Amino acid sequence: MFNRLLSALERSNNQQQQLVMDASHELRTPLTSLRTNTEVLRRVDELDPLTRNQLLDDVLTQLTELTNLVGDLSELARGEPEATPPSRFRLDQLVDDLVNVASTYGRTRNVEIELDATESWVFAQRDRVGRAIGNLINNAIKWSPEGGTISVRVLDGSVSVEDEGPGIAEEDLPKIFDRFYRAPSARSLPGSGLGLSIVAQVAANEKGHVEAGKGQTGGALLKFSIPSVP
């Protein structure tokens, strides 16, 4: 018994150390970019309006990335869901709110988000479901080409997000919801490899599931589903 407890404690300690190392590594890149852009913006009087606006857009993108990363790391550290009681709420209204927030980020990349939602009630932890769906939308923005369109649909407890990006390689499909997994094509893009694993974790905790495939235009099609209620 004592040896099992000691082993469990050691595993927990190793996981915490790994989390700190991952956090340090993932935070370094956006913080460095923010510092560089801020130093350039100090010379604002020397910048033409186009360059200044581009730098401000970059800062907004980097702040969004940092916000998402901190949220992902907090979710990862939490592990099991908090004892927050679930509630009955309209999933379509939650997604509408999330799309409105994400559209600000999308505009910095000239990406439009279209929402097609029907009334859908669920019984779940609203904040965690919101975090999961927000991750899906932000992932679609990251992969969308400039001028692209993201299609978000809500029906009977399911939310699908389709982008017009390059799509997911067949060999990556079984792994994209794994924690810290990043496809070779994603390694030059911002992100921690945590976002989609959190989507899967939340779905599982709510007795739901996730799916990944190819959309009508060849981009990624990701689906988050939890049981609907009357």
pLDDT of res. 88? 98
Cα-trace Rg, the chain: 19
Rounded Cα gap, residues 135 and 101, in angstroms: 12
Which tens digit of pLDDT belongs to each residue from 121-145?
999 999 889 989 998 998 999 899 9
Q: How many domains does the chain have?
A: 2
Rounded Cα gap, residues 109 and 112, in angstroms: 9
- Residues 18 and 96 placed together within one structural domain of the fold: no
Give the residue carrying structure tokens 């970019």.
33
What are the C-alpha distances in Å from 11 to residues 18, 56, 189, 201? 10, 43, 31, 20
Q: Does residue 214 form part of some domain?
A: yes
pLDDT of res. 15? 57
pLDDT of res. 62? 74
Residue 51's domain comprises: 2-78
Rounded Cα gap, residues 68 and 118, in angstroms: 27
Q: Does residue 230 form part of some domain?
A: no
- Residues 66 and 93 placed together within one structural domain of the fold: no
pLDDT of res. 212? 95
Longest dimension (CA), the chain: 69
- Residues 115 and 209 placed together within one structural domain of the fold: yes
pLDDT of res. 141? 92
- Residues 60 and 92 placed together within one structural domain of the fold: no
- Residues 70 and 99 placed together within one structural domain of the fold: no
- Residues 205 and 124 placed together within one structural domain of the fold: yes
- Parts of the chain with a pLDDT under 50: 187-188
Say if CB 209 and CB 189 are below 8 A apart: no
pLDDT of res. 29? 59
What are the C-alpha distances in Å from 224 to residues 134, 135, 146? 11, 11, 25
